[in-house]
Amino acid sequence: MAGSMLYIHIPFCVKRCNYCDFFTSAEKRGSARIAAYMGALGIQLKRLFNHIDTSTIQSCYIGGGTPSFTGSHLTELAQFITDECKGVEEFTCEANPESFTFDLAEGLRKAGVTRISLGVQSLSEKELAYLGRAHNSSIALSAINLAKESGFRVSCDLMCGLKGQTAESWQASLQGIVDAGATHISCYPLTIEPNTPLGKLVASGLEDEPDEDFQADCMLMAQKFLKPYGFERYEVASYALTGQQCRHNLGYWSGISYYGLGAGASSMGTHEELKAFMSTVPCAIRNETEQALCPVSDYKKEYQETQAEEFLEQYNQAVRFRWRIQPDTAKFYESVQNSEPLELIVEAMSAKAAAAEDLMLGMRRVQGLSAAELEQAIKRGIDQTLLNKTIDDLEQDGYLMRTETKIIPTKKGWLEGNHVFGALWDLA
């Protein structure tokens, strides 16, 4: 894969779910805040497109939050992107079932969107209530059918390890979305985050932590259940029919650069791509520890004055940058619309660190890492002896296996992926 990708973050929802730790906020439909934010996104996109070769953007993903909640604003944004980015091969929009309407489906299809990703999570009414979702199973199934009939590729998310969930209810949810016409299914174990309603209930002892053994059983069950229907797992949590894999997902695990626009959005790219992004609005950058702040236009002078020599050295030697916009909706649209400084948190990565990151992310794919990718990591600074020892140890402990041409995760390596990812990241 080559080129770059585009991610747009829309943080608004009709309500916040009980488990959600993403940067989102409940908002009234049609509010002035939504209009102002979407207007700012359009401005930032126009500025970015003036400074990059838009033909290099191969995929676009609009996520959130609930992009479908913004209605015609979303359609207009999608149309603008399609008009400007002629090289886009896949265009995904997230939607929640309760806000995915016939008019929206028709508008997004005409605007060039190719995939709808629906946050179904479950087809059990009790499980949906536990999660605090705004839809029921009937609405979810209708949304899947609408997306299919409208000509989209249809992705659905499901969650396991929910209160009261059983093997039977998990299988019923899988069966329901397969029968409804999903072509791509992602399965996620519920994670309890501290500052969410569920997190507070667990901390107070009023709810139990999810059963990790049951969650592992559900993940294995999903793989076994979906296979006869033609679904193959292609990355750590996702299954797809032949030719229905999400290009955007694979891009993240393959080291493809991406621009993230909107409050709280993250980006990854080269020095030149960072500079292009910073042309969209006056910026100020902080280092990873958020200690040093300076105008990007004169970062060397300012960082020297603040004695942030370590970050300056990292910045000058870096081959890859990760940066994210502060998660503040009001600050985002005020900065863009009024040309006020927008704060970015910037991580500068050496060639060695970028190589270790690519090894780690590559193991999220079922195909694992090729011999050529391992060799390339060594050329970029990874110690060959240490790399070989790490692979040997992971293989001996049953987390991965070698073939003549690659290393791939085993079932244990898939279910306990964080151990594999951590070992490879430590090579940095």
**pLDDT tens track for 95-135:** 999 999 999 999 999 999 999 999 999 999 999 999 999 99
Identify the H or E element spanning 365: none
pLDDT at position 26 is 84
Percentage with pLDDT > 70 across the chain: 93
Pairwise CA distance, residues 190 & 85, whole Å: 36
Say yes or no: 192 and 108 in one domain: yes
Check if the beta carbon of residue 116 is closer than 8 Å to that of residue 147: yes
Of 61-75, 133-147, 329-343, 414-428, minimum mean pLDDT range: 329-343
First to last CA, the chain: 24
Do the domain assignments include residue 81?
Answer: yes
**pLDDT tens track for 212-227:** 999 999 999 999 999 9
Using alpha carbons, select from 373, 272, 327, 219 the residue that is nearest to residue 53: 272
Mean pLDDT of 17-24: 85
Which tokens go with 314?
A: 């990292």
Pairwise CA distance, residues 46 & 64, whole Å: 21
pLDDT over 80 at 314, yes or no: no
Residue span of the structural domain in which 389 resides = 353-425
pLDDT at position 286 is 73
Residues 6 or more apart whose Cβ sits within 8 Å of residue 73: 34, 35, 38
Pairwise CA distance, residues 426 & 428, whole Å: 5
Check if the beta carbon of residue 116 is closer than 8 Å to that of residue 95: yes
Mean pLDDT of 156-161: 97
Cα 167 from chain centroid (whole Å): 28
pLDDT over 70 at 1, yes or no: no
Of the candidates 227, 252, 277, which is a domain's last residue?
252
Of 152-166, 194-208, 285-299, minimum mean pLDDT range: 285-299
pLDDT over 70 at 303, yes or no: no
Band of the pLDDT at 2, cuts 50, 70, 90? Answer: low
Residue 67 DSSP SS3? helix
**pLDDT tens track for 330-344:** 999 999 988 888 888
369 against 283, higher pLDDT: 369
373: left (phi over 0), alpha (psi -120 to 50) or beta: alpha
pLDDT over 90 at 25, yes or no: no
Pairwise CA distance, residues 72 & 253, whole Å: 32
Using alpha carbons, select from 404, 397, 396 the residue that is nearest to residue 368: 404
Do the domain assignments include residue 258?
Answer: no
Say yes or no: 278 and 248 in one domain: no
Say yes or no: 284 and 231 in one domain: no
Which tokens go with 133?
A: 């979702």
Residues 6 or more apart whose Cβ sits within 8 Å of residue 322: 266, 267, 268, 346, 347, 349
Say yes or no: 315 and 415 in one domain: no
Say yes or no: 306 and 411 in one domain: no
69: left (phi over 0), alpha (psi -120 to 50) or beta: alpha
Residue 65 DSSP SS3? coil
Of the candidates 349, 370, 394, which is a domain's last residue?
349
Task: List the CATH number of the domain containing 45.
Answer: 3.20.20.70
Mean pLDDT of 339-350: 86
Say yes or no: 201 and 334 in one domain: no
Say yes or no: 393 and 379 in one domain: yes
Using alpha carbons, select from 364, 389, 366, 384 the residue that is nearest to residue 374: 384
Burial 358-376 (b: 16+ CB within 10 A, else e): bbbbbbbbeebbeeebbee
Which tokens go with 223?
A: 């793989």
Do the domain assignments include residue 336?
Answer: yes
**Domains: count for the chain:** 3
Say yes or no: 315 and 416 in one domain: no
pLDDT at position 20 is 85
Say yes or no: 57 and 166 in one domain: yes
pLDDT at position 280 is 87
Cα 324 from chain centroid (whole Å): 13
* Mean pLDDT of the chain, nearest integer: 91
Band of the pLDDT at 295, cuts 50, 70, 90? Answer: very low
Pairwise CA distance, residues 252 & 273, whole Å: 16
Say yes or no: 308 and 384 in one domain: no
Say yes or no: 136 and 199 in one domain: yes
Length of the chain: 428
Say yes or no: 69 and 131 in one domain: yes
Using alpha carbons, select from 257, 234, 236 the residue that is nearest to residue 358: 257
